[in-house]
Amino acid sequence: MTPPTLDIDVLLRDRSVRTIVCCGSGGVGKTTTAAAIAIRAAEQGRTVAVLTIDPARRLAQALGLEHLDNEPAPVDSIDSSAGGSLDAMMLDMKRTFDELVLRHSTPDKAQQILENPFYQAVSSSFAGTQEYMAMERLGQLHAELAGGAARWDLIVVDTPPSRSALDFLDAPGRLGSFLDGKFIRLLMSPAKAGGRAYLKVMSVGVHTMTAVMSKVLGGQLLRDAQTFVAALDSMFGGFRERADHTYALLSDASTAFVVVATPERDALREASFFAGRLASEGMPLAGLVVNRVERTRLPSLREGRAEAAAEEADGLPERTGTSWQPTDTAALLRLHAEHAAQAVRHEAAIGRFTASHPTIPQVLVAAAAEDVNDVGQLREIGAQLAE
């Protein structure tokens, strides 16, 4: 069964595509793929920004990202002869959150929020904050103007390292529903009703509860929680609205998802879940990038034959006059046999994915012998994405 081919150039030529999101489970090559796509797009003449999340240090350096910086900065090492450009940034989730607070509240109130321990917990470690802030930042980048027009005509988005690709879609909602939680609303009611009314509406039960909580955690906890909730109150509507808005952006026809997976069962299963989810949400899936596929240097020599030949070579008489011995030959044959076996496993895993998703376009990227961390290597991956 031959699935349709994912040709990244077709996607990049389509000017109506303004966002490409690279998703996938942990460590499969999302950041690498996002960077490769961004470079290729820029070198084909598009005005591109790439939003990376936790890139490997050497990759970050290759993109000129020496320090964590929430602002896109030009990548000079690309070929701009086609008239394109590339800006790269690393997401700083706490800073994005802080700026959001600063933008949506008075300076006094903002300060109060920023110093609150609950805010600090939510903004730096709450599961889902990174995903939420990635979406938030994406929305901001799209809104940036230069000379009256959008500053970038394509934004390539990397997604946070997470076990499940679905987290990218679900996490912002989790943060939203946390902010919608029962206890939060309860804590908020005094702020809305005013201090005195608060005492009246508090049932005896709630009293007992808060008493227990302050006893266990110290009275400061509840005061902090109340300050946090009250201070964020004015922003809540804004928060959820924003999350909804960005989510809507993702289901827009101007967005294309690229799912990345390694040719292994678990990663492909995640890719499969994700594809199903996109379909049910009506979100556009451009296709699957199978990254780090084993390609032997010698496709015609099968594993079994190579193994048998190695056995035989081991039995050949020692050679005089040269240092190369039959055992060296046997070792090379065994090494090839290992690669060939791996290639067969990969092919089988991809075949299983294809069988259950025959219509999802695919493209394979070979496993490089080294880590991918310079612009030249990223270009090479970009080229494979368009083969």
Partner 1 sequence: MSSGDWDGVRLHVVTGKGGTGKTTIAAALAMSLATHGKRVLLAEVEGRQGISGVFDVPRLGEDEVQVATGPGGGQVMGLSVDPKAALLEYLQMFYKLGMAGGMLERFGVIDFATTVAPGLRDVLLIGKVYEAVRRRPSRRGTRSAQLYDAVVLDAPPTGRVGQFLGVNHAMAGLAKMGPVKNQADAITALLQSAQTAVHLVTLLEEMPVQETVEAAAELRALSLPLGAVVINQEVTPPVGDGTLAQLAATDFDDAPLAADLAAVGLRVGPRMLAGLAQTGRDLTQRLALQDRERDALAGLGLPTVHLPLVPGGMDAGGLLELADAVAAQGVFG
Ligand X SMILES: Nc1ncnc2c1ncn2[C@@H]1O[C@H](COP(=O)(O)OP(=O)(O)OP(=O)(O)O)[C@@H](O)[C@H]1O
Question: Footprint of Mg ion on this chain (CB under 5 A)?
Answer: 30-31
**Contact flag: residue 324 with partner 1 (CB under 8 A):** yes
- Which residue number is nearest to Mg ion in terms of Cβ? 31
Quote the strand ranges of 57-166, DSSP E. 73-74, 85-90, 145-146, 149-150, 154-158
Number of other CB atoms surrounding residue 348 within 10 Å: 11
| β pairing state of 255-261 and 285-293 | parallel
**Contact flag: residue 13 with partner 1 (CB under 8 A):** no
CB 184 within 8 A of CB 228: no
**Contact flag: residue 76 with partner 1 (CB under 8 A):** no
| Least distance CB 21 / ligand X (angstroms) | 13
Question: 123: part of which helix (H) or strand (E)?
Answer: helix 117-125
**Contact flag: residue 188 with partner 1 (CB under 8 A):** no
Tell me whether residue 312 or residue 371 sits nearer to ligand X (CB atom): 371
Q: For binding to ligand X (CB under 6 A), which residues are involved?
A: 24, 26-32, 54, 56, 161, 163, 291-292, 365, 367-368, 371-373
Q: Which of 255, 237, 262 is nearest to 104 (CA)?
A: 237
**Contact flag: residue 26 with partner 1 (CB under 8 A):** yes
**Contact flag: residue 294 with partner 1 (CB under 8 A):** no
Among 9, 45, 56, 173, binds partner 1 (CB under 8 A): 56
Long-range contacts, 324-333 (Cβ 8 Å, 24+) = 333/306, 333/307, 333/309
Select the binding partner of residue 143 from Mg ion, ligand X, partner 1, none (C-beta < 5 to 8 A, by kind): none
Tell me whether residue 7 or residue 314 sits nearer to partner 1 (CB atom): 314
Tell me whether residue 227 or residue 373 sits nearer to ligand X (CB atom): 373
Select the binding partner of residue 324 from partner 1, ligand X, Mg ion, none (C-beta < 5 to 8 A, by kind): partner 1
Sign of CA dihedral 27, 32, 34, 37: negative
**Contact flag: residue 316 with partner 1 (CB under 8 A):** yes
Select the binding partner of residue 332 from Mg ion, ligand X, partner 1, none (C-beta < 5 to 8 A, by kind): partner 1
d(CA 246, CA 294): 37
Q: Which residues are paired to 47 by β-bridges?
A: 85
- CA distance between the termini of the chain: 19
d(CA 207, CA 213): 10
User: Which 79-118 residues touch partner 1, going by CB under 8 A?
Assistant: 117-118
| Least distance CB 117 / ligand X (angstroms) | 28
Number of other CB atoms surrounding residue 240 within 10 Å: 17
d(CA 334, CA 54): 38
| Least distance CB 61 / partner 1 (angstroms) | 12
User: Which 213-242 residues touch partner 1, going by CB under 8 A?
Assistant: 213, 215-218, 220-221, 224-225
**Contact flag: residue 186 with partner 1 (CB under 8 A):** yes
Among 153, 233, 303, 338, binds partner 1 (CB under 8 A): 338
Select the binding partner of residue 71 from Mg ion, partner 1, ligand X, none (C-beta < 5 to 8 A, by kind): none
Residue 342 phi/psi, 5° resolution?
A: -65, -40
Angle at 95 between CA 235 and CA 28, to 5 degrees: 110
**Contact flag: residue 161 with partner 1 (CB under 8 A):** yes
Among 61, 125, 251, 356, binds partner 1 (CB under 8 A): 125
| Least distance CB 7 / Mg ion (angstroms) | 24
